[in-house]
Amino acid sequence: MITIKEAKTKIELKDFVKFSFDLYKDNPYWVPPIIAEELESFDKTKNPAFENAEAKFYLAYKNGKIVGKTAAIINWQEVNNQQKRKVRFGWFDVIDDIEVTKALLEKVYEYGREHNLDHVEGPMGFSNLDKVGVLTEGFDQIGTMITWYNYPYYKEHFEKLGFTIEKEYRESIFSMTDVDPAPFKKASELIRKRYNLKSVSFTSTKEVMPYVDKMFKLFNTTYERLSSFVAISDVQIEYFKKKYIGLINPEYIKFVMDENDNMVAFTIVMPSFSEALIKAKGKLFPFGFIHLLKARKSSRDVVFYLIGIDPEYQNKGVTAIIFDDFHKVFTKNKIENCIRTPELEENHAMNNLWKNFNPIIHKRRKTYKKDL
C-alpha cells in the first residue's frame, strides 16, 4: 500500500532531501546537493521565492519505507500576472513504480484544484533560476550543481500517465581546444570602437557587488519575451547575491558597459563543482567546503550559468567582447571544457550564439504538462 504524507517538520524535510541520496547512492552521474542549502531553499523564512509562491512537500511511503517525493508549487506572480493557471511540481524523485509516481502526482493535482488552477507542469522549481526539466537524454553524463539528474523511467512514467511535452531544453559542451580566438579578438576590437563599449573584469568578489543589481535587472529585460519567464524580484536578487556570488571565481564574471556606464551585457561562468559535490556527500563540514574551495580555484571545467544582452544590442556582436575576454582568462587558468546549462529549444538567439564553438549536445530534458 502506498501512503502519501506531507513533509512539514525539520526531520521530515530532511528525509525529503535525503531520499535522493538513497535513490542515487551508487550512481556516478548524480551530483548531490548540500543538504543544509537544500533545506534552506524550502524554508519560508529564508527563501524569498515564498514572497510570491507557496509550496507543499510530499513523501510517498510503501511498506513503511520512503519510495518517492515531490514538491507542489504555485508561483502566484505567474498565475496572477501572466494568467497562467499552473501548479508546478519539482524536486521529483521516485523508485521505478508508476503507482508511486501516480500517487504523488495526484497530490499535486489536488493542490492545484484547491486553488482553481487548470494545469500542472514540471519538473520545475520556484523561479527561472531554479533547476528545470526531466532528463531524457544523457544519462551517462555527469550532472551539474544547477540541474536535476534522474533515471530513464521518469519520462516513461509521465507519458504513461497522460502528460504531454510542454518545453524542451538542450545542454551542450565544447572544448576550448576547438575554439579559434582570432575572429573574436578582431570582432571585439571593432565592436568596442563602433559602439563605445568597454568590458569590466574583476579580481575580487567585493569589486563585483556594486554591479550585481544592474545585472539582474538586465537579466529580467533580456528574458522577459520568453513565454516561460517569471521576473526575479528585488528581494530574490538580494538572496541570490548573498548566496551565490561568493561561490564564483570573480575572474569568471564579465560585464559590458556603454559610454554612460549602462550595462548592455553580462555573463556569469561558474567553475564546475560536480566532482567536489560528489566528494562532499551533501555536507560542508568537516571537509566538504575544502573540496568546493579547491574546485573554485582549480576546476578545469566551467559552466556557463547566465548570459544576458540588452535587446538593443543583441544583433550587434557584443558577444565577441565577452568571448574575447573569457578566452584570455580561460587560457590562463587552463580551462579544458565549457558546459552550457539548459537552454530552451525555442530560444533561437541563444542557440545561434554557440554554433561557432562546435558544441556537442550531450543532454536533453523536458518539462511535461497535464490538464487538471
pLDDT, residue 233, reads: 83
CATH of segment(s) 2-171: 3.40.630.30
> Percentage of the chain with pLDDT > 70?
98
Residue-wise pLDDT tens digits, 157-182 = 999 999 999 999 999 998 888 888 88
pLDDT, residue 129, reads: 78
In whole angstroms, what is the distance from residue 125 CA to residue 146 CA? 11
pLDDT, residue 227, reads: 64
pLDDT of 355 > 80? The answer is: no
Residue-wise pLDDT tens digits, 297-346 = 889 999 988 888 999 998 888 988 998 999 999 999 999 999 998 988 88
pLDDT, residue 166, reads: 96
Residue-wise pLDDT tens digits, 114-130 = 999 999 999 999 987 79
| In the chain, alpha helices (H) | 10-23, 35-41, 76-81, 98-114, 153-160, 182-195, 205-223, 234-244, 274-280, 288-298, 319-332, 348-353
Contact 369, 227 (CB under 8 A): no
pTM above 0.85, yes or no: yes
Q: Is 267 helix (H, G, I), strand (E, B) or coil?
A: strand
In whole angstroms, what is the distance from residue 365 CA to residue 343 CA? 10
pLDDT, residue 228, reads: 64
The structural domains of the chain, with segments of one domain joined by +, span 2-171, 174-364
Average pLDDT over residues 61-72: 97
Q: Which CATH class is domain 174-364?
A: alpha beta
Residue 68 φ then ψ, to 5°: -175, 165
Which grid coordinates belong to 212? 550585481
pLDDT, residue 191, reads: 93
The domains spanning 2-171 and 174-364 adopt the same CATH topology: yes
